[in-house]
Amino acid sequence: MSPASPAVPDSSPTPPDDFRTAAHAAADLVADYLAGLPGRPVWQPMGPADRTSLLEAPLPEDGVPLAGLLDFVGTRVMPAPMGNGNPRFFGWVNSAPAPAGVLATLAASAMNPSSAGGDHADVHLERAVVRWIAELVGFPHPAGGGLLTSGTSMATIVCLAAARNRAARRAGWDVREDGLAGMPPLVAYATGETHSCVRKAAELLGLGSKHLRTVPSGPEGQLDTDALRAAVARDRADGLLPFLVVASAGTVGTGAVDAFDPIADLCAEQELWLHVDGAYGAFGVLDPAIAHRYAGLERADSLALDPHKWLGVPVDCGCALVRDTDELRGTFSLVPSYLRDEAAGSLGWFSEYGMEQTRPFRSLKVWATIAHRGRQGISDDIARCTALARRLGELVEADPELELLAPVQTSIVAFRHRAAGLDEAAVNAVNRELPVAVQLRGRVFVTGALLGGREMLRACLLNAATTEDDLELLLAEVRAAAAGLTERPAGA
Ligand SMILES: Cc1ncc(COP(=O)(O)O)c(C=O)c1O
């Protein structure tokens, strides 16, 4: 006789009424947080004690009631935000969360599906919102031609993997079966301003970063197609396999948009896959004032873009769009027997189109964000951001202490401080320290980058709640922080 198993312990689920009470309190906490953002410092460093209390938080032995969790979140977590909800945040490419998306996040996590596939609302909603995203930016969308991802870094891996497989197959190799070993190297082309996620993807996909050629760009940051043509010819003559061009619909440094039509012409002629990184800037096409810059975007083979940037969909949410569905599915589809699903329909599962198996319910926050504003509302917000950026560019140009470093093409303004009498090295040194000096003052938040060897500030405008007064304040803060740096005794 086998021994009796120990008794199954009682379960102690959270009582529904406790959840309801806490959820109401959470709604107030979040609403107060969002309403209070403009009135608080944009960012401030966490005090050492607060930091330590998070870093060294002990693993709780016994549970805490929901109300206690809210107290911790309200008093210890929410007072130390990154700052990107504030209209005076101009850093990196991080937007304020769209309120409709915030609400949707609660419902999505209450349902908590895995959007890998199957026949449930989240899966069908994802197909709809991927099509909406494609329609918003004017990219062709065959059924199954895309999926939501964690961000553009992952979307880039998805798109470049499809590009790699197509190129290898055309050269007589099955990369999925044989790997890349023994094949002539595949070569990709991008400008020096291309986001680092492209290089990461190239490395990860076994292409090797030395086979990601840096193509020069012209004075406005656009990829130089004559140089591209010459580089492709050189590589072919050397027995290599050019296969991919990465263009940008808004570079992270200056917001430059490539001239897609000539690049697409060259790609068609040379049988190269054209991928566009539209992470930050693809939605700029919705602004009638700059839509012309995007002519030819729709000719790309793939486009990676981020609803979690300019649309304000709460992080995380990227999107990969691929013109040829078969290339995408052919790259990723692998259906083990435990996942066979006769009811999935001809498109199969999302997990056949990308890396993730268990996938979060991202589509509800995208749906809510787009449905709440509508195409017109989104276009208006984007047009306001680009107009603010142009205004900021004018303010910079009118200020003798400041220098605009690139034309304002989308909603990023690249500039630097240039105090009279400083040589280039000293100007660089000041601008290197300036972003943090501005941040520490707490009134605005801006970040920096290198552009052609020059240290600069870059202000990224993604928040339609930003005002022209906020722009004046940004420049006043830059001037004040620069004065603190240039007037301080040497070595201090
Ligand atoms: C132009 C550009 N491409 C790619 C990325 C990477 O996107 P993600 O952070 O969503 O992975 C960024 C992020 O800022 C970006 O600005």
| pLDDT tens by residue, 141-171 | 999 899 999 999 999 999 999 999 999 999 9
Question: Domain containing 209 — which CATH number?
Answer: 3.40.640.10
Q: Looking at the domain assignment, is residue 220 inside a domain? A: yes
Q: Looking at the domain assignment, is residue 382 inside a domain? A: no
| pLDDT tens by residue, 313-369 | 999 999 999 999 999 999 999 988 888 777 777 898 999 999 999 999 999 999 999
Using CA of residue 485, residue 490, residue 491, residue 492, what is the dihedral sign?
negative
**What range defines the domain where residue 143 resides?**
104-369
Q: What is the pLDDT of residue 490?
A: 45
Residue 116: is its pLDDT beyond 80?
yes
Task: Give 59 Cα–ligand 1 centroid separation in angstroms.
Answer: 34
Q: What is the pLDDT of residue 2?
A: 64
Residue 407: pLDDT band (50, 70, 90) is: very high
Residue 488: is its pLDDT beyond 70?
no
Q: What is the pLDDT of residue 110?
A: 97
Q: Looking at the domain assignment, is residue 347 inside a domain? A: yes
Residue 207: pLDDT band (50, 70, 90) is: very high
Nearest-atom number in ligand 1 for the CA of 151 is: 10
CB 306 near ligand 1, within 6 Å: yes
Residue 1: pLDDT band (50, 70, 90) is: low
> Is the peptide bond preceding residue 316 cis, with omega within 30 degrees of 0?
yes
Residue 269: is its pLDDT beyond 90?
yes
Number of domains in the chain: 1
CA distances from 446 to 87, 165, 180, 459 (A): 12, 40, 43, 6
Q: What is the pLDDT of residue 119?
A: 92
CB 85 near ligand 1, within 6 Å: no
CA distance 196 to 326: 28
Q: What is the pLDDT of residue 491?
A: 46
Nearest-atom number in ligand 1 for the CA of 93 is: 14
Task: Give 95 Cα–ligand 1 centroid separation in angstroms.
Answer: 12
CB 279 near ligand 1, within 6 Å: yes
Q: What is the pLDDT of residue 345?
A: 79
Task: Give 178 Cα–ligand 1 centroid separation in angstroms.
Answer: 31
Residue 445: is its pLDDT beyond 60?
yes
Task: Give 470 Cα–ligand 1 centroid separation in angstroms.
Answer: 25
Mutation choice for ligand 1 from 149, 280, 447, CB with most ligand atoms inside 8 A? 280
Nearest-atom number in ligand 1 for the CA of 281 is: 1
CA distance 217 to 332: 34
Determine contact, residues 18/65, Cβ cutoff 8 Å.
yes
CB 356 near ligand 1, within 6 Å: no
Report the chain's mean pLDDT, rounded to a whole number.
Answer: 95
Q: Looking at the domain assignment, is residue 44 inside a domain? A: no
CB 252 near ligand 1, within 6 Å: yes
Q: Looking at the domain assignment, is residue 26 inside a domain? A: no
Task: Give 152 Cα–ligand 1 centroid separation in angstroms.
Answer: 5
Pick from 126-130, 259-263, 376-380, 419-423: least confident:
419-423
CB 148 near ligand 1, within 6 Å: no
Task: Give 197 Cα–ligand 1 centroid separation in angstroms.
Answer: 7
Q: Looking at the domain assignment, is residue 1 inside a domain? A: no
Q: Looking at the domain assignment, is residue 87 inside a domain? A: no
Q: Looking at the domain assignment, is residue 99 inside a domain? A: no
Task: Give 432 Cα–ligand 1 centroid separation in angstroms.
Answer: 22
